[in-house]
Structure 1
Amino acid sequence: MEYERPLFFRVMQYAARADRDVVGMVSGNPDWEPPAALREGLAEYAEADIEAFQYPPSEGLTKLRAEIAQRRGVDIEQVVVTNGAGEANYLAMAAALDRNSGDELLLTDPVYPYYPGKTELLGGTERYVPVAEDGQLDPATVREHASEDTAAILVNTPNNPTGAVYDEATMRELVAIAEDNDALLLSDEVYDHFDYSGRFASALGVDSEHRIVTNSFSKSMAITGFRVGYAVFPEALVDDAKTRHMLVNVAGSQPAQRAVLTALQETGPDYYADNRDLMAERVETFTAALDDAGAEYTTPDGGFYVLARFDDFPGTLDNVERLIDEAGVAGMPGDAFGSAREDWLRFALVTPRVEEAADRLAEYFR
């Protein structure tokens, strides 16, 4: 099966080779401190008995799964701890296709590039549903595209790259569409702690055997390198998901899971609120500078990203490289996220140099 390698690595490598200082705004790597309790959990693990250095349970540490289950209001047996949200989404998409109820995955356009890549890798067929100018997804449009060929509807809320947040009514209707077409709703909620609108609603709020929710601690705890995520499966699908997980990974990292468990148990809501406020301030700073540059842009309701469009400067890879060389700012080409925003550029605001990057863009395009 042929599939395209996402452009993220190519852009980051180009920026690293540049002959000038470059503000990196390509990847969603948080630049703030993880919870203090996470570092403490790692230190405690270093002094543990040798038994703690061996394989953990394949589906994840029991105490971590129990903590996740309690927080998400689900049964522990539905929870599989994964190698980040990336594996969680892979398992969810595989589960949808393995049901033999269609081979088509409905994706939004614009789309996070790893979704179509995984679809092709798994032998499925992607079909795209357009979103509104503000990134919102109209369930009626999804229903028009859904059919007996639909294996799953895959959504990301808060959304990468649009910043759209889907409310409770939207999520309920998406689950209903999945049920009506004997499909699954796959809801990737990795940015759930970064909702600036107050409207975010998890698909777990809808009781259904036709939805899978994936998430990760990568963004919320600023630990993308730890690779600790999870998926919540319907009871009928969880055993197959555990088997696939075991065959692919054997098990996840025991020290990373133990540290995450400690952080979950000992970190209060202020940690998450402070980082959410930080990101909201960066959005305001960056978009103000885009105003100065005369750009059109999206104001995200959640997540880490801003899409921007500059006159006579389409969001191609060539123009991204030109921006690196001439302005010293590295973003992502809009055409990496599908056809709907191919004239746009996407910027990740997870850098303390947001204001500097914004000034460089304003000066370059003014």
Structure 2
Amino acid sequence: MSQSWIANRMHQIDASGIRKVFDLAAKMKNPVNLSIGQPHFDTPTPVKQALIGAVESGKNVYSVTQGIAPLCEALQSRVKAEFGHADRQAFVTSGTSGGLMLALSTLVNEGDEVIVFDPYFVMYKHLVTLAGGVCRLIDTYPDFRIDLDRVREAITPRTKVILCNSPCNPTGYVATEAELKGLAELAAEKNVCLISDEIYRVFSYDRPFVSPAKWNDQTLVIDGFSKSHSMTGLRLGFAHGPTHLIQQMIKLQQFTFVCAPQPVQWAGLAAMECDVSDRVADYAKKRRYMIDELQGAYDIRGAEGAFYLFIKTPWGTGTEFVAKAIENELLIIPGNVFSQKDTHFRLSFATTDETLQRGVEILKRLARG
């Protein structure tokens, strides 16, 4: 196949950072894997039973694009109870990544700017590129806080979207109420769409989760079941926002994803009735254990939510440190996968206590150089 067939946008999407890590990891014999960005718990039994039941009862065809009526109604009811907005519509997406792709493709024209906070979820930059936009990164080091003055300075006439993720992957930072309120009000003042990625909302350990949509009824929220209910492979998300925007996203979904898989939507309806507080409590304990064990040897900031630590390397670059970790059978991710900087590494504590103990032992050895 001729290389000239490849669209220019694909050359702006670089997967080399993650690829290099997993190329190195392929040589590992007994890895301690702290790299995985998904819960280690199994999917709740009622969710699995609902999925099996849907398949066996023949619910294997397309649903309507916006999602099955019972799930849409349940989501709409929850959203209305939380926000009380007169004009806020919910619909079902094929994962949160599907929701993000629909959102950015619907909102961003060629050359429009999207403000993203660095460090960022790896997909954001590439989805902006795919939509024809330009990422404007705002440095949040060392504490990962949202500096509203920097956001105001970054807004230009081409700014179309501000993309916020709290609790954050990779840093675990949970934005304060003041930060989110200020961001919501600034977006409204500047007539910029605020997208709030809330996939980790149940994993907020030190203070109650709050959405910026509380202060800006035009905020677009992206959410889903993957992390809270261990449903990453089932690809079920949802979005809610002002009706005029949601209708355009539904239209685009009709001609791209078509709909989320119908059996999985019935599983999602069951998931809405599942209590996952015990899982959240377990990850809060794991988070506390990791911080207590490592804070003497490492500089740890953020870490108030999600199930990640984004840690400054005690020596060398993030890439160099991760290469040494892999030599010692520890699989972690270099920070430059999520950032313009190469000073940190990300680990996930979504694993067994035994694996975390093994990881801590290796990290303590590595800190000594």
Q: For residue 152 of structure 1, give the secondary structure of its aligned residue in structure 2.
A: strand
CA contact (8 A) 2:28 2:326 kept: no
Out of 295, 306, 310, the position equivalent to 1:307 is 310
Kindly indicate whether residue 63 of structure 2 is the aligned counterpart of residue 56 of structure 1.
yes
Which residue of structure 2 aligns with residue 322 of structure 1? 324
Runs (4+) off by over 4 Å: 74-77
Q: CA RMSD in A?
A: 2.0
Q: 1:162 to 1:19 in 2, by over 3 A?
A: closer
CA contact (8 A) 1:285 1:355 kept: no
Moved more, 76-85 or 161-170: 76-85
Q: For residue 335 of structure 1, give the secondary structure of its aligned residue in structure 2.
A: helix
Identity %: 26
Give 2:349's aligned amino acid.
L
Kindly indicate whether residue 229 of structure 2 is the aligned counterpart of residue 226 of structure 1.
no
Which residue of structure 2 aligns with residue 298 of structure 1? 301
Which residue of structure 1 aligns with residue 122 of structure 2? 113
Distance 1:299 1:204 in 2: 22
Deviation at 1:138, TM superposition (A): 2.0
Give 1:306's aligned amino acid.
L
Which residue of structure 1 aligns with residue 349 of structure 2? 349
User: Normalised by the size of structure 1, how large is the TM-score?
Assistant: 0.90
Give 1:35's aligned amino acid.
P
Deviations 1:48-84 (A, max 9, x none): 1x3x221111111111111111112267972221111
User: Normalised by the size of structure 2, how large is the TM-score?
Assistant: 0.89
Distance 2:304 2:332 in 1: 20
Deviation at 1:13, TM superposition (A): 4.8
CA contact (8 A) 2:224 2:236 kept: yes
Deviations 1:192-246 (A, max 9, x none): 000012142112323422x100011000001100100011131121221111111
Deviation at 1:33, TM superposition (A): 2.5
Q: 1:357 to 1:248 in 2, by over 3 A?
A: same
Deviations 1:137-168 (A, max 9, x none): 12222112112211000010001112111233
Moved more, 190-199 or 67-76: 67-76
Deviation at 1:360, TM superposition (A): 1.6
Distance 2:266 2:133 in 1: 35
Q: For residue 249 of structure 1, give the secondary structure of its aligned residue in structure 2.
A: coil
Aligned residue runs from structure 1 range 17-166, under 5 A: 17-48=26-57, 50=58, 52-73=59-80, 78-98=89-109, 103-166=112-175
Give 2:225's aligned amino acid.
F
Gaps of 5+ in 2: 1-8
Give 2:21's aligned amino acid.
V
CA contact (8 A) 1:65 1:76 kept: no
CA contact (8 A) 1:11 1:26 kept: no
Distance 1:19 1:221 in 2: 30
Distance 1:314 1:132 in 2: 15
Q: For residue 58 of structure 1, give the secondary structure of its aligned residue in structure 2.
A: coil
Give 2:72's aligned amino acid.
R
Out of 250, 261, 276, the position equivalent to 2:269 is 261
Deviation at 1:358, TM superposition (A): 1.0
Aligned residue pairs total 352
Q: 1:157 to 1:212 in 2, by over 3 A?
A: same
Distance 2:302 2:181 in 1: 25
Aligned residue runs from structure 1 range 170-319, under 5 A: 170-209=179-218, 211-265=219-273, 267-268=274-275, 271=276, 273-291=277-295, 294-316=297-319, 318-319=320-321
